[in-house]
Amino acid sequence: MKAFLDWRRGAGFILWLTLSSMTLAATDPSAENPEQTVCGWFKERLAFAAWSTVAGAPNLQAWRGVQGAVPVSFKTRDGRVLAGYKIAARPAPLRAAGRSGFLLVAQGNAMLADQLLPELSAFAERGVDVFIYDYRGYGASEGKPRLKAIVGDYREMFQAHSAGGYERKLLYGISFGGVVMLNVIGGGIQFDKAVIDSAPSRVSNLGCPAEYDPVGKLPADSSSLLIISGQQDTVVRPGEMRELLEVARARGAKTLAAEQFAHPFMDADIAIHGQRQKIVQEHLFD
């Protein structure tokens, strides 16, 4: 289950932590180019190049083994085509009963969408369509991977799926994906529930503009959020999440700092991993 995923994610995030000691200046985030670097011209390019390499090549046939899964694509505002997958809701009668919904997933920074399809199948069984895409510049997706552009892509994807007639709008951000999702949430979108698992409080300490800090993106009413931290996490350490947890809790979010959890999909055994996924599902669907 976890062996094929999580050395990759750990290696990727640790690389950014290593690169954060570099002092190259960030560029102006207000420029029109969606793919402009904002976390340092050289540092951001090098970090994403390493992460996307560690993520590996996409398995374009992986979806065939997952019930209800089909390849999909999304065209961004700047014409980039992002490759992804939809896992159709099961059971279908939930849609007819007026309980249709979608779950938009943002994965870790050294992962590809197809690697999570078996895991996400369980979410589709709760009656929502699940969407996951390779970040731009990853796998089969076009473009250059940049923080500013990726955040913008997810804002667009959320709005596009929201316009599809869904009643419930759910978000799930994993590690770097949690940084992305909190930046989308901070833009004032209307959603129902979200889970942020193992995202750092700040990215400004890595050379990115403070406007991308996850802690600064928490809504005044955060009661729809669940923030998870693992006390055994060596990738996003508990101290790096402390501020995010404290502010989220003060604003009404559910928070969990679990002693037995490591980084997502890097838990010590399958039973702990299963417990974690059950908690995620219970928040989103109960």
pLDDT of 19 strictly over 70: no
Confidence (pLDDT) at 146: 97
pLDDT of 29 strictly over 60: no
What's the pLDDT band for 20 if we cut at 50, 70, 90?
Answer: very low
Domain that holds residue 264: 3-285
Using alpha carbons only, what angle is made at residue 161 by residues 114 and 197, rounded to the nearest 5 degrees? Answer: 55
Confidence (pLDDT) at 211: 98
List, in sequence order, the alpha helices (H) in 73-143.
93-96, 117-124
Q: What is the CATH number of the domain that holds 233?
A: 3.40.50.1820
Contact 126, 60 (CB under 8 A): no
The number of domains in the chain is 1
Q: What is the DSSP letter of 39?
A: S
pTM of the model: 0.89
SS3 133: strand
SS3 256: strand
What is the per-residue pLDDT across 133-166, written as a single tens digit (0 to 9) for each?
A: 999 999 999 999 999 999 999 999 999 999 999 9
What is the per-residue pLDDT across 190-246, written as a single tens digit (0 to 9) for each?
A: 999 999 999 999 999 999 999 999 999 999 999 999 999 999 999 999 999 999 999
Confidence (pLDDT) at 108: 97
Question: pLDDT: is 19 or 187 the higher one?
Answer: 187
Other beta carbons less than 10 A from residue 279's beta carbon: 18
Mean pLDDT score, 22-44: 69
Please list, in sequence order, all residues whose beta carbon lies within 8 angstroms of the beta carbon of residue 38, skipping any fewer than 6 positions away.
Answer: 26, 27, 29, 44, 146, 147, 148, 208, 209, 212
